Chains A and B, each alone.
Chain A
Amino acid sequence: MKFTLSWLKDHLETEASLDEIVEALTMIGLEVEAVDSRAQFNAFVIAKVLTAERHPDADKLQVLSVDTGDGKPVQVVCGAPNARAGLVGAFAAPGTYVPGIDLTLAVGNIRGVESHGMMCSERELELSDAHDGIIDLPADAPVGTSFAAYAGLDDPVIEIGITPNRPDALGVRGIARDLEAAGIGTMKPWAAPKIAGNGACPVKVSIETPQFCPAFGLRLVRGVKNGPAPKWMQQRLRAIGLRPISALVDITNYVTFDLGRPLHVFDAAKVKGHLAVREAREGEAFLGLDGRERTLSAGMCVIADDNGVESLSGIMGGEETGCTAETTDVLVESALWEPLNVARTGRTLGINTDARYRFERGADPAMMAPGLDHATALVIELCGGEASEAEIAGEVPQPDLIVDFPFSEIRRLTGIKVADDRAVEILESLGFAVSGTGETVQVAVPSWRPDVFGKADIVEEVMRVNGVNRIAPQPLPSMGSVSQKILTLGQTRSRNARRALAARGMLEAVTWSFISEDHAKAFGGGKPELALANPISADMAHMRPSLLPGLLSAAQRNADHGVGDVALFEVSHLFKGDRPEEQHRVASGIRRGTAKLDGSGRHWAGKAEAVTVFDAKADALAVLEACGLEASKVQIEAGGPDWLHPGRSGTIRLGPKIVLGAFGELHPMTLETLDVRGPVCGFELYLDAIPAPRAKPTRTKPALQLSAFPAVRRDFAFVLERDKDAAALLRAASGADKKLISSVAVFDVFEGASLGEGRKSVAIEVTLQPTDRTLTDEEIDAVSQKIIDNVAKSTGGVLRG
Chain B
Amino acid sequence: MTDLNTLETEILAAIGAAGDEAALDAVRVGALGKKGSISERMKTLGGMSAEERQVMGPALNGLKNAVGDAIAARKQVLKRAAIEQRLATEKVDVTLPVRLSPAEAGRIHPISQVVDEITAIFSDMGFSIAEGPDIETDYYNFTALNFPEGHPAREMHDTFFFNEKEDGERMLLRTHTSPVQIRTMEAQKPPIRIVIPGKTYRCDSDATHSPMFHQLEGLVVDKAANVANMKWVLEEFCKAFFEVPSLNMRFRPSFFPFTEPSLEVDIQCDRSGSEVKFGEGSDWMEILGCGMVHPNVLRSGGLDPDEYQGFAWGIGIDRIAMLKYGMPDLRAFFDADARWISHYGFRPLDLPTLFGGLSG
Contact = CB atoms under 8 A, between A and B. Distances in A.
Contacts of B334: 510-512
Contacts of A476: 125-126, 193, 220, 225, 229, 232-233
Contacts of B309: 412-413
Nearest to B127: A486
Interface stretch (A189-197, A464-472, A693-701, A715-723): A464-472
Contacts of B90: none
What does DSSP make chain B's interface, helix, strand, loop or mixed? mixed
A507 B228 contact: no
Contact of B99 (A166, A535, A605): A605
B88 interface: no
A343 interface: yes
Nearest to A532: B160
B133 A536 contact: no
B161 interface: yes
Interface residues of B, number: 92
Given A457-B260, A536-B211, A510 B109 contact: yes
Contacts of B100: 599
Most buried by B among A166, A456, A475: A456
Contacts of B349: 499, 503
Interface in B283-331: 292, 294-295, 305, 309
A459 B261 contact: yes
A168 interface: no
B227 A413 contact: yes
A112 to B, nearest CB: 46
Contacts of B125: 476
A507 B163 contact: no
Given A486-B128, A513-B199, A498 B337 contact: no
Most buried by A among B98, B112, B309, B349: B112
A274 B254 CA distance: 44
A533 B335 contact: no
Interface in B327-360: 333-339, 341-342, 345, 347-349, 351
Most buried by B among A166, A500, A504, A597: A504
A479 interface: yes
B57 interface: no
Nearest to A508: B109
Most buried by A among B235, B294, B338: B338
A56 interface: no
Contacts of B151: 164, 340, 343
Interface in B69-125: 96, 98-100, 102-103, 105-109, 111-112, 116, 119, 122-125
Nearest to B126: A479
B66 interface: no
A474 B230 CA distance: 8
B25 interface: no
A483 interface: yes
B106 A503 contact: yes
B110 to A, nearest CB: 9
Interface string A498-540: 1111111111111111100000000000001111111110001
A532 B105 CA distance: 37
B232 A475 contact: yes
Most buried by B among A508, A533, A554: A508
A498 B108 contact: yes
23 contacts: A31-B252, A164-B151, A165-B153, A460-B260, A469-B250, A469-B251, A473-B235, A474-B226, A486-B127, A502-B103, A502-B107, A504-B102, A505-B105, A507-B107, A507-B341, A508-B341, A511-B336, A513-B212, A529-B171, A531-B162, A566-B338, A578-B171, A597-B102
Interface of B: 96, 98-100, 102-103, 105-109, 111-112, 116, 119, 122-129, 131-135, 149-153, 155-156, 160-165, 170-171, 173, 193, 199, 201, 203, 205, 211-212, 220, 224-229, 231-233, 235, 250-255, 260-264, 292, 294-295, 305, 309, 333-339, 341-342, 345, 347-349, 351
